[in-house]
Amino acid sequence: KILAGVPSRLRIGGDWRDAAGGRTFAVTNPADGGELMAVADAGPADAVAALDAAVTAQEAWAATAPRERAEILRRAFEEIHARRDELAVLITLEMGKPLRDAYAEIDYGAEFFRWFAEEAVRIDGGYKVSPNGRGRVLVMRQPVGPSLLVTPWNFPLAMATRKIGPALAAGCTVVVKPAEQTPLTTLALAAVLEHCGVPAGVVNVVTTSDPAGVVGTLLRDGRLRKLSFTGSTEVGRLLLAQAARTVLRTSMELGGNAPFLVFDDADLDAAVDGAIVAKLRNMGEACTAANRFYAQRGIAGEFAERLAARMAGLRVAPGLDEGSQIGPLIDEAGRAKVGTLVDDAVGKGARVLTGGKPLGDAGYFYAPTVLADVPGDAALLSEEIFGPVAPVLPFDTDEEAVALANATEYGLVAYLYTRDLTRALRTAEALETGMIGLNQGVVSNAAAPFGGVKQSGLGREGGPTGIDEYLETKYIAIDV
Ligand code: ADP
């Protein structure tokens, strides 16, 4: 019944259109592998049509009153809440996460519309006296222009709102290209935005089974002014290289390899609670997921045992089942990768405290897993696991913990548990990441700057600077 109300066609200009040639592709349910519905499969010509619409709408959208843009976003925030029951089921159906996680994503995702509704009317500039005393420096901000937003499958609503919110607030029109695994939520969101008064051509959506072809076509088009991408570091590198051709403005939210440090003075109950959230929110399918657990030697054994006991007690079931706490992974490729990483670690001597195997006859389930005695050369310490697997390793000194945490090309987020304020701040300053969870397992917050350093990305989403990603600075020189 919910699926019947979801658009299945491309959103281009003010219309819902079939893809050229009427092509479609199937969206499947990761809980059972079954087909949910077919959606339009855009090709390069459809991508160009979507950009045409965004380019046509750009000037008028940039000229709308900031207050008007703000009110549209605010209405969309409210409308997402009004439709939360159907949106939650839709997220769970196509992505797999337990229903209660889908509700959490809706609360989080809607916040970006509220936050950027508030920011749309706070775009400022400057006026200052030049050092020579005669000149004046007048600075204004203007929208970057038509923007391509490429989103991943793990948070189908929140990753879209986190980009659409600031883009619209700044006065940019957009083409959204959702992940092929989860196009339905984005299409439903486009319908919400249409309902809330977003003018034709301001938000266009191209669903496709050929992301390289569609995105590649758009990145070659000189009319595109901005790319915002969330996904793997591997694809991010490819897109950065392509963006270089037109010297495109880019925002990149890429992979992570988050360390979770537990010092011997930590509140162990809080550390285990935080570890469960940092590891298992979204089944571990988050760029912010704790990927490596380092516990100080005196408490490492107890921490690992307690984490394993908690993880063993979780209910693994289809996300729509009553009481499901862990849903399926996104697809067979995702589950196979997790299995390969666990087998590699076990083959090199790691000990399985719980889990360590796929589950169920249908769907892509993997058991919540804790590994102890993980050798330093296990692949899962350097690769993003993207599944419910927690390797636990001991450390001795604070310096060693920081060195281990920083020994990665990634730098998105780190988690840190200690009751000693000086130790916490010293460690937080030394960690090479864009974000730190201090005695807490979640950092995501629409009001905070989300983003990474090193190969985890470029730019920040959310917070007071999130809108800057969609604004250019223009300086006007005046002599008075
Ligand atoms: P994940 O590994 O989490 O699936 P990806 O980086 O593969 O992450 O996907 C993130 C987004 O990038 C999705 O929207 C996907 O369709 C898109 N994508 C994947 N490969 C390419 C590519 N070669 N060119 C452009 N976009 C791509």
Q: How far is the CA of 255 from the centre of ligand 1 (A)?
A: 12
pLDDT, averaged across the chain: 98
| Averaged pLDDT for residues 150-156 | 98
**Beta carbons of 448 and 462 less than 8 angstroms apart:** yes
179 Cβ below 6 A of ligand 1? yes
Q: Is 238 in the pocket of ligand 1 (CB under 6 A)?
A: yes
Residue 214 CB–ligand 1 contact under 6 Å = no
Q: Whose CA is nearest to atom 15 of ligand 1?
A: 179
In angstroms, rounded to a whole number, what is the distance separating the alpha carbons of residues 89 and 84? 9
Q: Which atom of ligand 1 is nearest to the CA of 232?
A: 6
What percent of the chain lies above the pLDDT cut of 90? Answer: 99
176-192 confidence digits (pLDDT tens): 999 999 999 999 999 99
- From the CA of 178, give the closest atom in ligand 1: 14
Which residues are identified as catalytic? Answer: 253
Q: Within its chain, how far is the Cα of 406 from the centroid?
A: 22
pLDDT recorded at residue 1: 81
Cα 10 to ligand 1 centroid, rounded to whole Å: 19
Predicted ipTM > 0.90: yes
Q: Is 151 in the pocket of ligand 1 (CB under 6 A)?
A: yes
Q: Is the pLDDT of residue 359 over 90?
A: yes
**pLDDT tens by residue, 400-453:** 999 999 999 999 999 999 999 999 999 999 999 999 999 999 999 999 999 999
With cut-offs at 50, 70 and 90, classify the pLDDT of residue 477: very high
Q: What's CA 182's distance to the chain center, in Å? A: 13
pLDDT confidence of residue 230: 98
Is the CB–ligand 1 distance for residue 457 below 6 Å? no
User: In the chain, what percentage of residues exceed pLDDT 70?
Assistant: 100
CA of 477 to the centre of ligand 1 (A): 43
Query: Residue 232: CB within 6 Å of ligand 1?
Result: yes
**Mean pLDDT, residues 4-16:** 97
Q: Does residue 396 surpass a pLDDT of 90?
A: yes
Q: Is the CB of 240 under 6 A from ligand 1?
A: no
CB of 44 closer than 6 A to ligand 1? Answer: no
Atom of ligand 1 nearest to the CA of 234: 6
- Ligand 1 atom closest to the Cα of residue 180 is 16
Q: What whole-number distance in Å separates Cα of residue 98 and Cα of residue 93?
A: 9
Locus of tokens 């690769």: 383
Assess whether pLDDT exceeds 90 at residue 390.
yes
Q: Which residue has the tokens 């006026």?
A: 127
Closest CA to 29 of 366, 362, 285: 362
Burial class (CB in 10 A: 0-12, 13-18, 19+), 234: exposed
Using a 10 angstrom Cβ sphere, with 0-12 exposed, 13-18 middle and 19 or more buried, the burial of residue 5 is: exposed
Q: Of the residues 41, 148, 150, which should be mutated to test ligand 1's pocket, given the most ligand atoms within 8 Å of the CB? A: 150
Q: What is the pLDDT of residues 54-81, one digit of tens each?
A: 999 999 999 999 999 999 999 999 999 9
Which residues fall within 8 angstroms of residue 24, CB to CB, at 6 or more apart? 8, 38, 39, 40, 41
CA of 434 to the centre of ligand 1 (A): 22
Kindly provide the b/e burial profile for residues 370-408, where b requires at least 16 CB atoms within 10 angstroms of the residue's own CB.
bbbebeeebebbebbbbbbbbbbbbbeebeebbebbbeb
